[in-house]
Chains A and B, each alone.
Chain A
Amino acid sequence: MKIAIASGKGGTGKTTVSLNLARSWGEPVRLLDCDVEEPNCHVFLPHAIEKSDVVTIPVPQVDEELCNACGECSRICAFNAIVALQTKPLVFPELCHGCGGCTKICPQQAITERGERIGVVEIGRKGDITLVQGRLDIGVPLVPPLIRAVKRHAAGAETVILDAPPGTSCPVIATIGDSDFVVLVTEPTPFGLHDLKLAVDLVRKLGLPFGVVINRSGMGDSRVEDFCRREQVPVLLEIPNDREIAVAYSQGRLMVDAFPEYQARFSDLKETICNLIEG
């Protein structure tokens, strides 16, 4: 079972919900931090990381002895990452998506692939939680290939919780696209509502079952709840706008650890999600 925790707006509490849900799950769970540009689940699971694997994508390298400057590689590349004029091809590795098209089409077999590093996947464990997180190298624009590398570690796990990046673009789709259920975390503010609507459009387009968690409930108005009622979106959980929760968070403590009464609420969240998936 794969449960993705997403949101339109950043900073609504995806990581908070992911971690607290994982901690209260009651069985071993694999937590995948797919927010590879700024992974932060590890902050709440200190010293958990045990190993780090380098992730590369295949980029072309041209053997100029074999190349006859026919230009086929340039024609097939949808990303302008290889350009052949009447000269030997120029390669722009930073634009390459690693599809392998140029390597396959080259009639001279002058193109081979080498691995270009894009980041690392880090793995560790704390209690029942196995944490897998991606960490993209600074300056690398290719997010989805690293997310896919993180997700390969979902194999064999009974329960997978995916902490998605914010937004509604490629990295989010790469994270949530094949999940069984999506939890959209929002907050009762105009920004929260605006971006929630975008996220709802996205998960509907992807045809994924979903529900909403309202974080910092009570800080704004009722427009998020009104929207959910009107659109018949289930509200799975409301987390109150409580200073004590924020204080515990700032100390790197999970809500369910700092305030045991929240264990039951996150267990209920688990049950609600499981029922909706089966229902």
Chain B
Amino acid sequence: MKIAVTSTGKALDSSIDPRFGRAAYFILFDQNSNTFEVIDNSPNLNAVQGAGIQAAEKVVKLGAKGLISGHCGPKAFRVLATAGIAVYNTEAGTVAEALEELQAGNLTQAASADVAGHW
């Protein structure tokens, strides 16, 4: 199963980007093969509006089944929920730590957006 994690950099030890729509990168981690790819989110980072919606669309198209981010706003959450993607909020420092939290069952699937839009 593939999990997307919002990241400020291109490595597993990069800091988590607390933002979803305007995150710098997504680390798309494949739990089956323990490999990952880096997705540049700069087009959405600089979007005039609807960054969260566009980022959610991208995560869906990447084939991820879960998303880990600091926060997720209402419009993005609606798109992710419609596509059946589980959203997890984390306070972990790095991408690797967040993935470990998920593996250990320490992350709870969010039932709704945890912040208002444009937080």
Q: Give the interface of A toward B (CB within 8 A).
A: 74, 79-81, 83, 85-87, 90, 92, 95
Q: Which residue of A lies closest to B21 (CB)?
A: A80
Contact of A80 among B50, B78, B82 (CB under 8 A): B50
List chain B residues, Cβ under 8 A from A85. 57, 60-61, 79, 82-83
B49 and A79 contacting across the interface, CB-CB below 8 Å: yes
Give the distance in Å from the alpha carbon of A233 to the alpha carbon of B53 in the complex: 46
List chain B residues, Cβ under 8 A from A80. 47, 49-51, 53-54
A95 and B82 contacting across the interface, CB-CB below 8 Å: no
Q: How many B residues face the partner with a CB closer than 8 A? A: 16
Give the distance in Å from the alpha carbon of A83 to the alpha carbon of B53 in the complex: 8
Per-residue CB contact flags for chain B residues 68-82 toward chain A (1 = under 8 Å, else 0) read 000000010011001
List chain A residues, Cβ under 8 A from B51. 80
B50 and A90 contacting across the interface, CB-CB below 8 Å: no
List chain A residues, Cβ under 8 A from B50. 79-81, 92, 95
Work out how many contacts link A and B, with CB atoms closer than 8 A.
34
* Contacts A83-B79, A92-B50, A95-B53 supplied; 11 other A-B pairs, CB < 8 Å: A79-B49, A80-B47, A80-B53, A85-B57, A85-B60, A85-B61, A85-B83, A87-B83, A90-B79, A90-B82, A92-B75
Minimum C-beta distance from A53 to chain B (A): 28
List chain B residues, Cβ under 8 A from A90. 78-79, 82
List chain B residues, Cβ under 8 A from A95. 49-50, 53, 75
Give the distance in Å from the alpha carbon of A80 to the alpha carbon of B50 in the complex: 5
List chain B residues, Cβ under 8 A from A83. 53, 56-57, 79
Give the distance in Å from the alpha carbon of A83 to the alpha carbon of B57 in the complex: 7
List chain A residues, Cβ under 8 A from B75. 92, 95
Give the distance in Å from the alpha carbon of A86 to the alpha carbon of B82 in the complex: 10
Q: Which residue of A lies closest to B61 (CB)?
A: A85
List chain B residues, Cβ under 8 A from A86. 83
Q: Which residue of A lies closest to B75 (CB)?
A: A92
Which 9 A-B pairs give the minimum distances between C-beta atoms? A80-B50, A80-B53, A85-B83, A85-B60, A80-B54, A95-B50, A83-B79, A83-B57, A83-B53
26 A–B contacts, CB within 8 A, in A order: A74-B57, A79-B48, A79-B49, A79-B50, A80-B47, A80-B49, A80-B50, A80-B51, A80-B53, A80-B54, A81-B50, A83-B53, A83-B57, A83-B79, A85-B57, A85-B61, A85-B83, A86-B83, A87-B82, A87-B83, A90-B78, A90-B82, A92-B50, A92-B75, A95-B49, A95-B53
